[in-house]
Amino acid sequence: MNYSTFLELHRPKHHSGNSTSAASNNSTNSVSSNSTDSTVKAYFPDFCEDCMWSGQLTCAGRADFLRNRYNTPNPQDAVMNDRKVCKNPPLQIFWRDDGIDELDSIFAQPRMSRGNATTSPMLGRISIYFYETLRKDVGVDLVENMRRQYADRNNTETNAQADIAIIDLFRTFPGRTDDAAMADAFVVPYPHASHCVSKPTGVWMAACRHIAHELMQGGVLNKLDHYVGNHKRHLFLNVINQGNSNPTMRETPLSLTIGPRYKSTNIIVPYLNNLPSFQPSAIRGRGEGWWTRPRTYSVTYFFGMSNSKMRHSPRLYRKLFMEEVQNNWPETVGGLPYAIRVMTKRNKPPSRLFTHMYRDSVFCPTFPGDTPPQKRFFDVIMMGCIPVVLEFDTNEGKKSWHQPGGQPIENSYPWIKGSNSTDPSNEIDYRSFVVAVTGGVENVRPTVEAIMRNYTEVRRRQLALMEVAPYFSYGMGEDAHRYPDAFSKILSALRYYLDGPYLGMR
């Protein structure tokens, strides 16, 4: 049975045609019309301001040049006619913006205090010593300041928030001990990623060099009373892309990182999504029917096209994909409409649009960004959308989902099968749900359509998502330490390292 037949059998009777929305909790926002709501259209103008014309010049810059130099009438139209990538595909978003955002960030909600947590999936398996001696400007004051910033609904530093959540979880972990002699590992609660994005000097420098080594040495490293003789068991939080972190943090003996993994003592962790609907209890509360329910869209992908600061970024594949869609994709894929749009920097859609669309789609591409992996990859998994990646060969004879010759997937994704980053029984088989497309962007549509012709395969991947999604969520507040989640996976990986050849015990 193909996916279209499945929809005909299971779609509610009040839905019909391409203007339908799947049977889901989001159906109240559906629009029974073949045209996109004007409010939604405003977020996706036909002229893509972020596309590149050539070199360092954007399409918007090219239009300004034509207007100022030659007084060209309708310069944006002229650019669009010459550069097809500046035209978006037909807009097929059957959703009306009700203006209602999700509840506030979990950072704005009451957090658990030490002593309130009495259970944990890892209780009794690992003992943690948590330093309270860091200098306040790089310790508790920095943590509280960044927590307040992240609690703001308008905060945009979503890629750096995980370290504050992880610090909260280590601080309240019921397996924490105040006796250093009883500790298996020592946690250094310096939130390096958050410190970097806070830009205390007012500027951003490559490799977070705006955070001076002397500041970290004096405020962090010199405050670790139990470091000597235990340095291999001291865990640092470098929860930022390695290339953006300060060299001082990269040289620490044991660390958490977003990736990629440069050495065996880097433990890769997922990005944090700070919305309540991404908490473990919410994800685990969705039954099998939610994960396998009918969807409205075959493919949904909203993305930024360019990054002027990284001229040779693998984002190039996003541009190539957009050109492929514009030139060769029909109006439907697998019998369903799709929503693929380039976003501009000036008028970004609200997060509620992304949440609705990704939840109502079968496949969600997560094509290369500046670094591997991306926050979007984990978000779409937790929203029940099957991630689609481009797969390349590496120089090591392995596979990369970032670029040709890029970082192998084993060094890019948390707890992935074959990474030797946690006990093999706790590894995650990403290939059970990820659609890895080989041969370039022109093979995306044929690959997706082939899977959609086999509903059993679509369902198998969706059920695999249901099994793994909670492990990419950090339980906080009332959810802290209650479920197997990203934090319990971190503790399990830490236990694996401590028991292994790293300390000469395995």
Question: 38: burial class by Cβ within 10 Å (0-12, 13-18, 19+)?
Answer: exposed
Closest CA relative to residue 486, chosen from 289, 244, 258: 258
Which pLDDT tens digit goes with each residue over 447-502? 999 999 999 999 999 999 999 999 999 999 999 999 999 999 999 999 999 998 76
How high is the mean pLDDT of the chain? 88
pLDDT computed for residue 29 by the predictor: 37
**Bridge partners, residue 268, by sequence:** 257
Distance CA 441, CA 328 (A): 11
Residue 288 has pLDDT above 60, yes or no: yes
pTM of the shown model:
0.89
- Contacts for 309 with CB less than 8 Å, ≥ 6 apart: none
Q: Are the beta carbons of 330 and 394 closer than 8 angstroms?
A: no
Say whether pLDDT at 107 is over 50. yes
Most confident of 56-70, 99-113, 459-473: 459-473
Residue 434: Cβ within 10 Å count: 23
Lowest pLDDT segment from 40-44, 182-186, 283-287: 40-44
- Please calculate the CA angle 120-191-309 and round it to the nearest 5 degrees: 125
pLDDT at 259 exceeding the cut of 90: no
373: preceding bond cis by omega (within 30 degrees): yes
Tell me which long-range contacts 209-214 makes (C-beta under 8 A, separation of at least 24). Answer: 209/246, 211/246, 213/246, 213/247, 213/248
The H-or-E segment that residue 452 falls in is: helix 444-452
